[in-house]
Amino acid sequence: MAATHQCICGKAIRYRQDLTVDRSGTTRTWACVDCGTPVPSGVAERIGHQYPS
Ligand SMILES: [Zn+2]
């Protein structure tokens, strides 16, 4: 079951390349690659393992 996230900017986040990750803190913070809006970590962690086939 593939995870997806609909960003407020309208982008459908489906793959690792649709996310940016900030590893500067103790926890990873994921965000939309287009607009920088944070993506909930639960779904982002799953999407972070998905790549286009
Ligand atoms: Zn966005």
Per-residue pLDDT of the chain (53 residues; tens, 9 = 90+): 789 999 999 999 999 999 999 988 888 899 999 999 999 999 999 999 999 98
Q: How far does the centroid of ligand 1 lie from the alpha carbon of residue 27, in Å?
A: 21
Q: How far does the centroid of ligand 1 lie from the alpha carbon of residue 9, in Å?
A: 4
Q: How far does the centroid of ligand 1 lie from the alpha carbon of residue 14, in Å?
A: 12
Q: How far does the centroid of ligand 1 lie from the alpha carbon of residue 2, in Å?
A: 19
- Single pTM value for the model: 0.86
Check residue 7 and give its pLDDT.
98
In the block, residue with structure tokens 């690659």: 33
Contact 28, 19 (CB under 8 A): no
In the block, residue with structure tokens 């982008």: 11
